[in-house]
Amino acid sequence: MTTSPDAPAIRLLPDADRASLAGADLLIDARSPSEYAEDHIPGAINLPVLSDSERAEVGTLYVASRFEARRLGAGLVARNIARHLETALADRPENFRPLVYCWRGGQRSHAFATVLSQVGWRTSLLQGGYRTYRRRVQDQLYGDGAGPRLLLIDGNTGAGKTAVLRLLQARGLQVLDLEGLAVHRGSLLGGYADRPQPSQKRFESLLLEALEGFDPARPVIAEAESSRIGELMVPPLLWRAMQAAPRIELEATPEARADFLVSAYSDLVSDLDGLERLVARLPTHPSQKRLEHWREMISVGDFRGLALALMALHYDPAYARSARRETRAQLGSVSLEPGRQESLEAAASEIERLVDGVLP
């Protein structure tokens, strides 16, 4: 391709921070769909110059002949870029400003950026590609920097912590929804059958995006969690902040919590076989007699009774053990009925009052 004198030069971005990326109208991830699915820069769309199968085909051929692999790859890349121009990018205006990246800022993104600049668009290319961005994520979340000023919502399983957090977020408070980012409800029974957790890398990207969007002068409210949420690890920067954060405890009766859990875990209630497998994996391993009793509860639909039994055997003792080791300051406690909306609203109001009084 001959370079047109009217084509704007490709602008190289050495950094992948929010300020640098904000100058683009669209972030384009030129990697294969599987690379994109594992993790990508927040806000980027996937316009691959090679599909997963095409990338594998070119890589296999490369072992035998570099020339043949490059010729095959060039044709595939050209066809794929042409398709993107005719579809996803067909309606972009003359002043469109795309930013393109691939794995390390190599041939895939350069090829795409060159074509886009020839169209006449002011095109940027991320130097170092996704690896540049990933290093920034690791530096931020695994370094020695100061974490956010956190306040934790604590309480027994079923006390409505997540529901209260969402009400606080709706009221304009800064809320870090760790379970939402991790796609997990934070307990053995907390996974979603139809929604897998993201990769660790993707979780960290979403987490950093959320943290960078907060006002550092205001507190951030999060749910008290263990160091792992399902299969995902809470990065050190945030874990240190959580370990030092004061907390507010939600209190509810076992009966009210059991009713709330049956509603909140309705997806598990509809999957009886899956529920049986999960309760059999409790760390506090139930006896065969108790497990048979729980299976009978499941078979007859006594999910409230099952919730009460699980809380008594596993969840409440585990929380009590953790509470005995607790050294973080407690700002107060709030009683509520998590299954009643008006009670959740009242609890959110009381937490707002506590936050305003202690963490201006």
Q: What is the pLDDT of residues 94-105, one digit of tens each?
A: 999 999 999 998
pLDDT of residue 24: 95
Whole-number Cα distances in Å, 198 to 182, 205, 232: 7, 10, 8
User: Catalytic: 102?
Assistant: yes
What is the enclosing helix (H) or strand (E) of 164?
helix 161-170
> What distance lies between CA 271 and its chain's CA centroid?
25
Q: Please give the CATH number for the structural domain made up of 147-358.
A: 3.40.50
Are the C-beta atoms of residues 162 and 263 closer than 8 Å to each other?
no
Q: What is the pLDDT of residues 218-252, one digit of tens each?
A: 999 999 999 999 999 999 999 999 999 999 999 99
The span from the CA of 254 to the CA of 252, in Å, is 7
pLDDT of residue 156: 94
Measured at the alpha carbon of residue 87, what is the angle toward residues 82 and 93, in degrees to the nearest 5? 95
Residue listed under structure tokens 């201006």 = 360
Q: Please tell me whether residue 223 adopts helix, strand or coil conformation.
A: strand
Are the C-beta atoms of residues 177 and 165 closer than 8 Å to each other?
yes
Q: If we measure between CA atoms, which residue out of 138, 128, 126, 136 comes closest to residue 12?
A: 126
Residue listed under structure tokens 């999060």 = 222
Confidence check: pLDDT of 293 > 90? no
User: Of 30, 99, 102, 336, which residue is the catalytic one?
Assistant: 102
Tokens in use for 79? Answer: 């066809």
Q: Please tell me whether residue 249 adopts helix, strand or coil conformation.
A: strand
pLDDT of residue 357: 74
Confidence check: pLDDT of 1 > 50? no
Measured at the alpha carbon of residue 302, what is the angle toward residues 299 and 308, in degrees to the nearest 5? 125
Give me the mean pLDDT over the 289-298 stretch. Answer: 84
pLDDT of residue 231: 92
Q: Please give the CATH number for the structural domain made up of 11-139.
A: 3.40.250.10
Burial (CB count within 10 angstroms: exposed 0-12, middle 13-18, buried 19+), residue 356: exposed
Q: At what angle do helices 341-358 and 161-170 cross, to 10 degrees?
A: 70
The mean of the pLDDT values for the chain is 91
Range(s) within the chain of domains with CATH label 3.40.250.10: 11-139
- Lowest-confidence segment of 57-61, 254-258, 346-350, 356-360 by average pLDDT: 356-360
Residue listed under structure tokens 């009590």 = 320
Confidence check: pLDDT of 187 > 80? no
Range(s) within the chain of domains with CATH label 3.40.50: 147-358
pTM equals: 0.89
The span from the CA of 131 to the CA of 102, in Å, is 9
Q: What is the pLDDT of residues 51-104, one digit of tens each?
A: 999 999 999 999 999 999 999 999 999 999 999 999 999 999 999 999 999 999
Share of the chain above pLDDT 90, in %: 69
